[in-house]
Amino acid sequence: MNERRNVVIAGGGPAGSATALRLARAGVDVRVVERAKFPRRKVCGEYLNAGAVAALDDLGVLDAVKAASAPLRGVRLVAEGAPPVVLPFRRPALACAREVLDAILLDAASAAGAVVEHARVEEVMVDEGWAAGVYVRTPEGELEERPARYVVGADGVGSVIARRCEMTKPPPRSARYAVGGHYAGFAGLDGHVEMYVGGGAYFALNPLSDVRANVMVVVPKERLGQWSRDVDAGLGGAAAALGRGVRSFEGVTRLGPRVSVGPLAYATYVAYQADTVLVGDAAGFLDPFTGQGMFLALSGAERAAAAILCALETNGPLWDPLEEYARWRARDVAWRGRLSKAVALLVDVPLLARRAAERIQRFPDAGAALIDALSGIVPPQRAFRPSVLGRLLA
Ligand SMILES: Cc1cc2nc3c(=O)[nH]c(=O)nc-3n(C[C@H](O)[C@H](O)[C@H](O)COP(=O)(O)OP(=O)(O)OC[C@H]3O[C@@H](n4cnc5c(N)ncnc54)[C@H](O)[C@@H]3O)c2cc1C
C-alpha cells in the first residue's frame, strides 16, 4: 500500500465535485478528472428535493444555486384511472438546470483547492492488487498516470472505474429510456412538478421558470423502437396520451437539443474495494421517477469524503471506514429501491392509484411523510410504517 495522502476523482458531476469540495476543504490533495468541458448538459429532470437543497446549503453553495433556480411548491401527480393528487413540499425544493448547478459545484471544488483537469479517465492503476491512481487520456491524446492513495469513481452510470474494477452487476434485460429537453410555451406553470403516469410510462414536467420547463418522457424500450422514424412525433404522441388533455406539446417550442438516455438501470455489487470508492450514480442508479438521484449523489459524497478522511488519518487495518461507507450505501440504496418500487406500484396499477389518491385526500400527513422519506428528510424506511404506505395502500 502506498503512503500518499492524495485522492483522484473520476468525474466532476455533483458526486465528484461535492466529494472533492469536502476533501479539499479538509486539506487533502485532491484532483478531479472530468471528460466534459463545463458548462455541459446532463440528461436529468433537474428537480432538487429538500434533502439535496439542504446538502447544497451545507456545502455553502445554496445562494449561488438559488439565484439560478426556481422554487418548487409540490408535485401534481396524475395517474391512470385516478383523480389528480397534489403533494405539497414542506421544505424548500428547487428546479435548476444541470449545466448551471454542476458548474457551480465544480467551481466551488476548484476554489477550495481541488485541481480540476479536463481529460478522460481510461484505466485504474493497480499496485499489488490495490488501486494506485488512474490513467487519463489528455485532450492532446497522451495517456498519462495520475497516481493517488485513493481512487474515487464518480463517473456516473456505466462508470469506467466500476467496470475496470469488476464492481458492476450485469444489466437487467428490460429497462426504460428517457427522452426530453427544455421547452417554452407550456401554459399555467405554477411551481409544481407535474407527473403524468400510465402503462409503464410517464411524462414529467419540471418548471425551471414561469416560461421554461424541463420535460422527460420515460417509456419502455419497445416503445422507443417504434419512434425510430420520427422521434419528435413519437415523443409528442406519448406526451399527449399521458397528459390526458391537460398537457401536450401543442403550442410549445423546444429550446436546444432533444436529449435521450437509457437504459435507466445500472447497479454495482459494492461501493468500495481495494482503495477504490464509488460515489453517486457510479455506485448504482435508481429509476429517476422519485427524483432521489441528486440527494443520493450529495449525501453519498458527504459520507464518502468523511470515510476517506478517516481512512487517511487512521490508515489502520483494524477498522475500515470505507467498508462502513459501502455498507451504509448498500443499506440506504436497498431501502430507497424498495421505496421506489412501492411508489411505482401505487401509481402504475390503476386500482391502487385510485385508492391512494382517495387516501391522500383523507390522510394528507401520510402523503407528506412519503414525500419526506423520498426527499431524504427522514430515512426511507420510515415510509414503510403503517401510518404512511400502510395507510395509502390499506
Ligand atoms: C432521465 C433522468 C432524469 C433524472 N431526473 C432527476 C431529478 O429530477 N432529480 C434528481 O435528483 N435526480 C434525477 N436523475 C438522477 C441524477 O441525474 C443523477 O443521480 C445525478 O446526475 C448523479 O450525479 P453523479 O455526479 O453521480 O453523476 P453524473 O451527474 O452522471 O456525473 C458524472 C460525471 O462524470 C463524467 N465522466 C464520465 N465518465 C468519465 C471518464 N471516463 N473520465 C472523466 N469523466 C467522466 C461525466 O462527464 C459527468 O460529468 C435523473 C436521471 C435521469 C437519467
Residue 290 shares a structural domain with residue 352: no
Whether residue 80 is contained in a domain is answered as: no
What is the C-alpha to C-alpha distance for residues 331 and 335, in angstroms, rounded to an integer?
Answer: 6
Residue 360 shares a structural domain with residue 211: no
Ligand 1, atom 17: nearest CA belongs to which residue? 44
Tally of structural domains, the chain: 3
Residue 102 shares a structural domain with residue 227: no
> Across residues 42-50, what is the average pLDDT?
97
Residue 332 shares a structural domain with residue 345: no
The string of pLDDT tens digits covering residues 1-34 is 445 679 999 999 999 999 999 999 999 999 999 9
| CA of residue 251 to ligand 1 center, whole Å | 30
Ligand 1, atom 12: nearest CA belongs to which residue? 293
Q: Residue 171 has what pLDDT?
A: 79
Residue 225 shares a structural domain with residue 98: no
- The ligand 1 atom nearest the CA atom of 11: 34
The string of pLDDT tens digits covering residues 301-335 is 999 999 999 999 886 666 799 999 999 999 999 99
Residue 350 shares a structural domain with residue 254: no
| CA of residue 319 to ligand 1 center, whole Å | 31
Whether residue 77 is contained in a domain is answered as: no
Residue 351 shares a structural domain with residue 309: no
Asked, as a colleague might, if the bond just before 257 is cis with ω within 30 of 0, I would say no
Q: Residue 177 has what pLDDT?
A: 94
- With beta carbons less than 8 A apart as the criterion, state whether 279 and 152 touch: yes
Domain boundary among 292, 317, 336: 336
- For the cut 80, the answer to whether the pLDDT of residue 360 exceeds it is yes
| CA of residue 388 to ligand 1 center, whole Å | 30
- The ligand 1 atom nearest the CA atom of 160: 41
Residue 181 shares a structural domain with residue 279: no
> Across residues 282-307, what is the average pLDDT?
96
- The ligand 1 atom nearest the CA atom of 161: 41
Among 281, 287, 295, 336, which is best to mutate for testing ligand 1, by the most ligand atoms less than 8 A from CB?
281
Whether residue 82 is contained in a domain is answered as: no
* CATH code of residue 207: 3.30.9.100
Residue 248 shares a structural domain with residue 296: no
The residues lining ligand 1, judged by C-beta closer than 6 Å to any ligand atom, are 10-16, 33-36, 42-47, 52, 120-121, 154-156, 160, 178, 216, 261, 264, 280-282, 288, 291-295, 297
Residue 41 shares a structural domain with residue 136: yes
* CATH code of residue 321: 3.50.50.60
DSSP assignment of 134-183 equals EEEE-TTS-EEEEE-SEEEE---TT-HHHHHTT-BPPPPS--EEEEEEEE
Residue 11 shares a structural domain with residue 146: yes
Identify the domain containing residue 382 by its residue range.
337-393
- The ligand 1 atom nearest the CA atom of 120: 42
- For the cut 80, the answer to whether the pLDDT of residue 212 exceeds it is yes
Whether residue 88 is contained in a domain is answered as: no
Whether residue 284 is contained in a domain is answered as: yes
Residue 20 shares a structural domain with residue 104: yes
